[in-house]
């Protein structure tokens, strides 16, 4: 019971951290979305923010890697954008696939590919 609640809270926190609101399935038929101001959602994905929310727990605070988790701060020198995307979507070894997908995965792959 308590665990469930905790999971819920953590989950909500993650979602909030990952995207300052607004996703494809947010209020469809907008008469007026409740969030005001800076809405640059659809096309712009903040790759760095996504990585901070979803990847650093394994890959390290600064993507420097830790233990069995490879560094990502230079992954662009090893893998192409496509290869990175493939790892993100399908996973590899102990790396779980599908943590992020779609535009998010694409943007993160591009961002990481530039890290050399």
For ligand HEC, the binding residues (CB under 6 A) are 51, 54-55, 57-59, 68-70, 72, 75, 78-79, 84, 87-88, 92-96, 99-100, 108, 112
44/101 with CB nearer ligand HEC: 101
Q: What angle do CA 112, 91, 99 make, to 5 degrees?
A: 70
Which residue is associated with the tokens 């909500």?
A: 12
CB of 6 to ligand HEC, least distance (A): 19
CB of 50 to ligand HEC, least distance (A): 7
Provide the residue count of the chain. Answer: 116
Q: What's the CA gap between 38 and 55, in Å, rounded?
A: 26
């Amino acid at each position: 019971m308590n665990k469930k609640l905790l999971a819920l809270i953590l989950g909500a926190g993650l979602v909030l951290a990952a995207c300052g609101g607004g996703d494809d399935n947010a209020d469809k038929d907008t008469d007026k979305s409740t969030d005001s101001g800076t809405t640059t959602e659809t096309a712009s994905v903040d790759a760095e923010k996504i990585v901070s929310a979803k990847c650093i727990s394994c890959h390290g605070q600064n993507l420097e890697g830790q233990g069995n988790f490879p560094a990502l701060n230079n992954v662009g020198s090893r893998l192409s954008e496509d290869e990175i995307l493939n790892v993100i979507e399908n996973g590899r070894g102990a790396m779980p696939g599908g943590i992020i997908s779609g535009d998010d995965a694409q943007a993160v792959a591009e961002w990481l590919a530039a890290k050399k």
